[in-house]
Amino acid sequence: MRSLAVPGTSYFVATAGQPRVRRPRDILTAIVGLLLVVWAVIAIDQPPSWELSLTELVQSSPPWRQTLLEGAYSLSLIYSLVLSVLFCSVGANDVRP
């Protein structure tokens, strides 16, 4: 398995041999993340037109198809969480080429 880490890149942690300080990149990353969360909270009540059309399409489909779509959505969420945990638990030093 290959590492997804970019060589020489670290976020919110000090690289080896450097004192622990907050770098401008860390602060900028935190600010951009916070702005995205605020934007998502503001926009939650105003879904785009394509999302409204998709919701109407799913709601007009038969109940068995809605159940299948809900199951697929739940499985994709579980799959993404498992992948996230695996990527976070496997460090760059643990991955062998």
Q: Cβ distance 97 to 1 under 8 Å?
A: no
1-5, 8-12, 27-31, 71-75, range with greatest mean pLDDT: 71-75
How confident is the model at residue 65, as a pLDDT?
94
The tokens for 45 are 């009540």
Residue 1's pLDDT is: 47
CA 34 remoteness from chain centre: 14
Q: In this predicted structure, what is the pLDDT of residue 88?
A: 78
- Predicted structure pTM score: 0.47
Tell me the Ramachandran region of residue 11: left when phi exceeds 0, alpha when psi lies from -120 to 50, beta otherwise. Answer: beta
Q: pLDDT tens across 6-64, in order?
A: 555 555 566 666 666 667 777 888 899 999 999 988 888 888 888 889 889 989 999 99
What local confidence, expressed as pLDDT, does residue 43 receive? 84
- Inter-residue contact 93 to 1 (CB < 8 Å): no
Distance, CA of 44 to CA of 90 (rounded, Å) = 34
